[in-house]
C-alpha cells in the first residue's frame, strides 16, 4: 500500500509531539504538509507549510487535526466538502451543534473518518474490552484524574481551562464504558467541570457505570476502568497505553480506512454519540 499523503492542521505542542512525527514516520502515511495559524510554528514540523488551507487540500488525500475543538468543527467541514478523509481529535467539536455539523458533512460527502480515541488503539485495551463483554457486565467504575489544568501543565490551554474535564478527558472514559457495557442511554452529572466531576451512566440493558473526572489534582495521571459482571471482572489502566505504540497503530488503521473507504467503528458518528452525552452532562453541572 502506498503511503497516504496526510495534511496536518495545527502546529501546537500535541501536533509537534505526536501527530507530525507519527504521520511523517510512516510507513502507512506521509506528512504532505502543514497549515497552522502560526506559520513559524508549522515550519518547525519538518514538512511544507501552506498559508491557505485549500492549498494544503491540493496535496493530500486526508487531513489530520490538532487544533482546539471549535476550530476543528469549522475546518473539518471544509475538509470533508473538499473530499478529504478526516482524522479527528476528541472531542469532535466544542459543542453539540458543531459536532452535528461535522458528522453531517462527513456523511454528505461520503468521506472516511476516524476519531483519535487513543485508548482504543492499545492492544491491552482491546483485550480488556473483549474480557469485559465476556463477563456479562452489570456495572463499571472509571476514573481519570490528572493535573492537566494546573499552571505548570503544557495542556492548560484556554479551551481546557474554560471547559474542564468532561469535554477533554470525558470522551476517553465515556467511550470506554460505552464500548464495554453497551450504548449509554442516559447520563446524570454532579460536581464541577473544573473540579471533580461525577457521572452516572445508564446503558442499554440496565447496566450502570460511574465515571469520575478531574484535571486539577497534583501528581501523576491516574486513569483506570474496572468492569464487574456475572462471570467475573475486567480491569485496565493507563499503563496499557504507550504513545510510541498506540499512535502508530492508529495511523496504520487510518491509512487502511482511507484506502478501503470502509467505515471505521470510531468514526465521526461515534464522536457525535459521545458528544451528545458530554452535552447532556455539561448541562447539569454548576460552574
CATH number for the domain harbouring residue 229: 3.30.360.10
CA distance 83 to 27: 23
Q: What is the mean pLDDT of residues 113-121?
A: 97
Is 127 found in the same domain as 83? no
Residue 1 above 90 pLDDT? no
In a domain, residue 197? The reply is: yes
pTM: 0.96
Is 60 exceeded by the pLDDT of residue 126?
A: yes
Give Cβ neighbours of residue 141 (< 8 Å, ≥ 6 apart). Answer: 209, 210, 212, 225, 226
Whether 196 and 166 have beta carbons less than 8 Å apart is answered as: no
Rounded Cα distance, 266 and 261, in Å: 14
Average pLDDT over residues 96-124: 98
Residue at 281 is within a domain: no
pLDDT at 102 over 90: yes
Whether residue 169 contacts residue 259, with contact meaning beta carbons closer than 8 Å, is answered with no
Q: Which residue has the cell 499503563?
A: 239
Kindly write down the DSSP assignment for every residue of 61-92, as one continuous string: SEEEE-S-HHHHHHHHHHHHHTT-EEEEPSSS
pLDDT (0 to 100) of residue 243: 76
- Considering the domain architecture, whether residues 53 and 74 belong to the same structural domain is answered as yes
Q: Which helix (H) or strand (E) holds 107?
A: helix 96-109
Q: What is the pLDDT of residues 185-236, one digit of tens each?
A: 999 999 999 999 999 999 999 999 999 999 999 999 999 999 999 999 999 9
Instruction: Read off the DSSP letter of residue 3.
Output: P
pLDDT confidence bin for 242, thresholds 50/70/90: confident
**Hunting for cell 487502511 — which residue is that?**
256
CATH number, domain of 37, equals 3.40.50.720
Instruction: Decide if pLDDT at 78 tops 70.
Output: yes
126 and 100 Cβ atoms separated by less than 8 Å: no
Predicted local confidence at residue 286, as pLDDT: 65
CB atoms within 10 A of CB 3: 17
Which residues, 6+ apart, have CB-to-CB distance to 184 below 8 Å? Answer: 174, 177, 178, 201, 202, 203, 209, 277
**What is the overall mean pLDDT for the chain?**
96
Asked whether residue 260 is assigned to any structural domain, the reply reads yes
Judged on CB neighbours under 10 Å (0-12, 13-18, 19+), 210 is middle
Q: Based on the domain organization, do 103 and 141 belong to the same domain? A: no
Average pLDDT over residues 82-98: 98
**Is residue 282 in a domain?**
no
Calpha distance 234→179 (Å, rounded): 13
Contact 210, 141 (CB under 8 A): yes
Percent of the chain with pLDDT over 90: 95
Complete edge-to-edge strand list for the sheet that includes strand 208-214: 184-191, 196-203, 208-214, 137-145, 222-229, 232-237
129 with 214, same domain: the answer is yes
Confidence of residue 244 (pLDDT cuts 50, 70, 90): confident
Same domain, 93 and 157: no
Name the pLDDT band for 27 (thresholds 50, 70, 90).
very high
Identify whether residues 235 and 131 lie together within a single domain: yes
**97 and 135 part of one domain:** no
pLDDT at residue 287 is higher than 60 = no
Task: Report if residue 196 sits inside a domain.
Answer: yes
Q: CA-CA distance, 225 to 173, in Å (whole number)?
A: 8
Confirm whether 275 is domain-assigned. no
The residue segments making up the domain with residue 104 are 4-118+244-267
Residue 105: how many other CB atoms lie within 10 Å: 20
Q: What is the domain count for the chain? A: 2
Examine the domain organization and report whether 61 and 161 are in the same domain.
Answer: no
Query: Are 141 and 172 in the same domain?
Result: yes
Q: How far apart are CA 265 and CA 256, in angstroms?
A: 13
Q: Decide if 258 is inside a domain.
A: yes
Q: Are 152 and 180 found together in one domain? A: yes
Whole-number pLDDT of residue 145: 98
Q: What is the pLDDT of residues 143-175, one digit of tens each?
A: 999 999 999 998 899 999 999 999 999 999 999
Strand partners of residue 213: 144, 197
Domain boundary pick from 201, 225, 240: 240
Question: Would you say 35 and 7 are in contact if contact means Cβ atoms under 8 Å apart?
Answer: yes
- Are 111 and 208 found together in one domain? no
Phi-psi region of 26 (alpha: psi -120 to 50; beta: other; left: phi over 0): left
| 93 plus 200 within the same structural domain | no
Amino acid at each position: 500500500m502506498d503511503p497516504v499523503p496526510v495534511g496536518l492542521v495545527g502546529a501546537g505542542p500535541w501536533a509537534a509531539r505526536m501527530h507530525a512525527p507519527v504521520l511523517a514516520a510512516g510507513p502507512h502515511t506521509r506528512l504532505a504538509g502543514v497549515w497552522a495559524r502560526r506559520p513559524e510554528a508549522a515550519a518547525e514540523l519538518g514538512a511544507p507549510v501552506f498559508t491557505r488551507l485549500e492549498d494544503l487540500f491540493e496535496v493530500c488525500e486526508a487531513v489530520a487535526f490538532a487544533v482546539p475543538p471549535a476550530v476543528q468543527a469549522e475546518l473539518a467541514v471544509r475538509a470533508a466538502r473538499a473530499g478529504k478523509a478526516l482524522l479527528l481529535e476528541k472531542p469532535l467539536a466544542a459543542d453539540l451543534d458543531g459536532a452535528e455539523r461535522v458528522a453531517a458533512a462527513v456523511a454528505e460527502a461520503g468521506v472516511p473518518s476516524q476519531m483519535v480515541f487513543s485508548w482504543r488503539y492499545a492492544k491491552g485495551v482491546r483485550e480488556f474490552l473483549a474480557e469485559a463483554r465476556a463477563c456479562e457486565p452489570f456495572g463499571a467504575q472509571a476514573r481519570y484524574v490528572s493535573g492537566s489544568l494546573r499552571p505548570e501543565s503544557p495542556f492548560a490551554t484556554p479551551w481546557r481551562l474554560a471547559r474542564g474535564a468532561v469535554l477533554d478527558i470525558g470522551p476517553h472514559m465515556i467511550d470506554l464504558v460505552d464500548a464495554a457495557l453497551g450504548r449509554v442511554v442516559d447520563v446524570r452529572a454532579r460536581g464541577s467541570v473544573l473540579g471533580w466531576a461525577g457521572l452516572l451512566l445508564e446503558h442499554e440493558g440496565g447496566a450502570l457505570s460511574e465515571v469520575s473526572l478531574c484535571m486539577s489534582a497534583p501528581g501523576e495521571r491516574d486513569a483506570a476502568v474496572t468492569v464487574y459482571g456475572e462471570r467475573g471482572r475486567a480491569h485496565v489502566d493507563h499503563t496499557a497505553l504507550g504513545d510510541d505504540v498506540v499512535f502508530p497503530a492508529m495511523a496504520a488503521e487510518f491509512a487502511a480506512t482511507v484506502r478501503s473507504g470502509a467505515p471505521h467503528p470510531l468514526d465521526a458518528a461515534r464522536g457525535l454519540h459521545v458528544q451528545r452525552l458530554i452535552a447532556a452532562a455539561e448541562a447539569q453541572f454548576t460552574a
